[in-house]
Amino acid sequence: MSRDRRHLLENLRRACSGRHTLLVGAAIGTGMAARAAARGGADFLLALAAGRLRTMGTSSIATMLALKDTNAFVADFACSEIVGATDTPVFFGAGAWGIAPADLAPFMERLRDRGFAGVVNFPTVAHVDGRFREALEGCGLGFAGEARMLAAARAAGLATVGYFRRKAEALMLADAGIDIYCFNIGWNAGGALGVPSRESVLQAGNRARGVIKAIRTAHPGALCVIEGGPITTPQDMHEACREARADGYIGGSTIDRLPSESSIEEMTSAFKLVSSLQRRIDRLERRLDRDGRAAGLIGRTEAMVEARTRLEHLAADGGPVWVAGPEGSGRSLVASLLHARGPRRQRQPVTVDARRLEADWLFGAEPGEAGGRRRQGWVEVANGTTLIVTHAEHLAADVQAELAAFVDNGVFRRRGGHDSLRSSAKMVLVGTAALGDAARDGALIPELAHRLAHRDIQLVPLRERLDDIPLLVERFAAALRPGAGPVRLTPAAFRRLITYDWPGNLRELRAVVEQALHGAGDVIDAGALPPLDGARPSPARSGPDDGRAEREAEREWLLDGLRRHRFRRGETARFLGLSRKTLYNRMRLHGLLD
């Protein structure tokens, strides 16, 4: 942004001319804070002694004490760290007490040459009141000196921000030709070093409103901002600026001290208690993610909750896992999630089909007496990632024995070789039968079955988790129609889906949903479903009892959902795939509302 005064002010006026747009100035004291504020969109920066002292662990109030040569102090850090660090214009926080009248013009020339866009009167006697303020004014150290300093800055071509707290101070700034009026509500509240405020955000905004109105009456179009007091959050700023009719806000402690205090404290606590916090977070996430949407494994039934719990546990280490379930039950998804949530997720997993593996393809082979060439095995290829072996029950017994030894110590030999090689591949074996059944039937040799003990995930067929169908339909519909609204089933469609045995499991359900979505809106009715071969037919009905039987069936369906969720209507509506309003209407129709 240009440092030319006229151009700078035009840009600031343009920035706050849009609807609901406020100027934001950041009063800071370090280069890091300057760059962060600029990235966050600050319209201008103020290099203040208070900002530096806050980073040193003291309060902004310390700037009112003779602890430092304020101007030399600000020049030291602002010139080396802030000016030139960003394109955002920087205002120099100048103390009028430290500049002799004859030195004002040369001082301002030096600030302009060093790249400052403007000057702000800080520290300011506006923060002093009572008899001490009267004494300062009587000694010629009052607010009039600050107004003269800002007038000298303007004469040197620098933009000016004037802090004030009283109407008389604002009038002095107006006489000096100030560019931006900043009504300072008081020292900031909040945090460990904040000063408690005696007024609310709205009261502070209302007090500022009267002064700002007087300024704009005398000088229409004047840029007026506010700072300090009870404002500690962006919402506080919005409410205060709206009440005050201000053009924006200057944040000091609220932009550097308060965020730094809270984030450093929280981060240090997190490092100190990371293990405990992570366990707590995991428990909360599992509690909140009751249907598995975040985990990627959808389902509220007991079998799916157990599968998700085991997945989270087994994905965390590099040990082998046996994933079992019928075709189409989601075994490939579980294998992918085991990799994606594990320590080797940086690389893509390697997937092989055991039915197509020759004896020496898993661990490789060395050239034999008859010649040939060295062959690298899949275990070696998958070093540093996950090796997923589908249809693992088809692995030959001797290969399983080698695999059992490999998962035990990570060491293997190529067929025909003598050198011991290492691989960190995580083995995920995918089969149809449960681990115990595969071992009893001889599909898995005892050595491998023992190493997989308690490291298995069992998926059940869809016919054993029919309650999950509404969730699965919603997920499949979202994947098939990205960006579209959620899709739900009508009661009739749901009843039809749960009367089918689903031999193709999830794959078959996805295909049904895909067909049902053609020409459908956000609701899938029974008529939109394709024919389901083998569906259990509903009892034949005829005569005047048809409607009564249908209503009774729907009433029982609603009651079953309510009982499952302890009559929590929000959870019941989600489970049944209904909106809350529709659930209430159907409950009222069937006399289920009090």
- We report the CATH number of the domain holding residue 188 as 3.20.20.70
Among candidate residues 312, 330, 334, the one with its CA nearest the CA of residue 322 = 334
Distance CA 135, CA 231 (A): 31
Q: What is the pLDDT of residue 422?
A: 94
Q: Are residues 104 and 27 in the same domain?
A: yes
Please, what is the Cα angle at 489 between 486 and 493, to 5 degrees? 160
Range of the domain at 395: 313-455
Does the pLDDT value for residue 543 go beyond 50? no
Does the pLDDT value for residue 404 go beyond 50? yes
* Residue 281, domain member (yes or no): no
* Residue 293, domain member (yes or no): no
Evaluate whether 438 touches 395 at the Cβ level (below 8 Å). Answer: no
Q: What is the pLDDT of residue 18?
A: 64
- What percent of the chain has a predicted confidence (pLDDT) above 90? 33
What average pLDDT does the structure give for the chain?
84
pTM, two decimal places = 0.47
Q: What is the pLDDT of residue 271?
A: 74
Distance CA 240, CA 247 (A): 11
pLDDT digits (tens, 9 = 90+) for 332-374: 999 999 999 888 888 999 999 998 887 678 898 888 654 567 8
* Residue 583, domain member (yes or no): yes
* Residue 188, domain member (yes or no): yes
Give the residue from 455, 481, 507 where a domain finishes.
Answer: 455
Q: Are residues 320 and 175 in the same domain?
A: no
Q: What is the pLDDT of residue 371?
A: 53
The most confident of 14-28, 304-318, 526-540, by mean pLDDT: 304-318
Amino acid at 403: L
Give the residue from 455, 480, 505 where a domain finishes.
Answer: 455
Q: What is the pLDDT of residue 133?
A: 82
Mean pLDDT of 189-194: 66
Evaluate whether 94 touches 7 at the Cβ level (below 8 Å). Answer: no
pLDDT-derived band at 153, boundaries 50, 70, 90: very high
The most confident of 114-118, 188-192, 285-289, by mean pLDDT: 114-118
Domain with residue 399: its CATH number is: 3.40.50.300
State how far the alpha carbon of 375 is from the alpha carbons of 111, 317, 395, in Å.
73, 29, 19
Phi/psi at 82 (nearest 5 deg)? -110, -55
Mean pLDDT of 373-394: 91
Q: Are residues 21 and 101 in the same domain?
A: yes
Q: Is 421 helix (H, G, I), strand (E, B) or coil?
A: strand
Does the pLDDT value for residue 171 go beyond 90? no
H or E stretch covering 363:
none
State how far the alpha carbon of 107 is from the alpha carbons of 68, 111, 156, 330, in Å.
18, 6, 10, 74
Q: Are residues 346 and 427 in the same domain?
A: yes
Q: Are residues 194 and 71 in the same domain?
A: yes
- For the ranges 63-72, 116-125, 351-360, 504-513, the lowest mean pLDDT is seen at 63-72
Q: Are residues 162 and 226 in the same domain?
A: yes
H or E stretch covering 553:
helix 546-564
pLDDT-derived band at 91, boundaries 50, 70, 90: very high
Q: Are residues 406 and 497 in the same domain?
A: no
pLDDT-derived band at 291, boundaries 50, 70, 90: low
Mean pLDDT of 286-299: 61
pLDDT-derived band at 459, boundaries 50, 70, 90: very high
Evaluate whether 452 touches 320 at the Cβ level (below 8 Å). Answer: yes
Give the residue from 455, 476, 495 where a domain finishes.
Answer: 455
Distance CA 405, CA 445 (A): 12
* Residue 38, domain member (yes or no): yes
Q: Are residues 343 and 471 in the same domain?
A: no
Mean pLDDT of 184-203: 77
Does the pLDDT value for residue 539 go beyond 50? no
Q: Are residues 445 and 320 in the same domain?
A: yes
Mean pLDDT of 207-227: 89
Does the pLDDT value for residue 457 go beyond 90? yes
Q: What is the pLDDT of residue 372?
A: 67
pLDDT-derived band at 542, boundaries 50, 70, 90: very low
* Residue 291, domain member (yes or no): no
Q: What is the pLDDT of residue 544?
A: 45
Q: In what order do the strands lie in the sheet with 426-431?
A: 350-353, 386-390, 426-431, 321-324, 456-458
pLDDT digits (tens, 9 = 90+) for 271-282: 776 666 566 655
Evaluate whether 181 touches 162 at the Cβ level (below 8 Å). Answer: yes
Mean pLDDT of 515-529: 81
pLDDT digits (tens, 9 = 90+) for 427-442: 999 999 999 999 999 9
Mean pLDDT of 166-191: 86
Pairing, β 321-324 against β 426-431: parallel
Does the pLDDT value for residue 198 go beyond 80? no
* Residue 303, domain member (yes or no): no
Q: What is the pLDDT of residue 538?
A: 42
Q: What is the pLDDT of residue 437?
A: 93
Number of domains the chain is built from: 3
- For the ranges 335-349, 419-433, 445-459, 520-534, the lowest mean pLDDT is seen at 520-534
Biggest alpha carbon distance in the chain? 109
Q: What is the pLDDT of residue 194?
A: 64
Does the pLDDT value for residue 103 go beyond 50? yes
Q: Measure CA 33 to chain center.
A: 22
Q: Are residues 319 and 249 in the same domain?
A: no
Mean pLDDT of 297-302: 84
Mean pLDDT of 561-582: 79
Does the pLDDT value for residue 156 go beyond 90? yes
Q: Is 119 helix (H, G, I), strand (E, B) or coil?
A: strand
- For the ranges 192-201, 372-381, 543-552, the lowest mean pLDDT is seen at 543-552
Q: Are residues 318 and 439 in the same domain?
A: yes
pLDDT digits (tens, 9 = 90+) for 16-74: 876 668 999 998 888 888 888 888 888 999 999 888 888 777 767 667 666 678 888 89
Mean pLDDT of 484-510: 86
The two three-digit tokens of residue 126, written as one number: 């506006």
Q: Are residues 442 and 492 in the same domain?
A: no
User: Which one is predicted more confidently, 289 or 396?
Assistant: 396
* Residue 306, domain member (yes or no): no
H or E stretch covering 275:
helix 274-288
Q: What is the pLDDT of residue 294?
A: 56
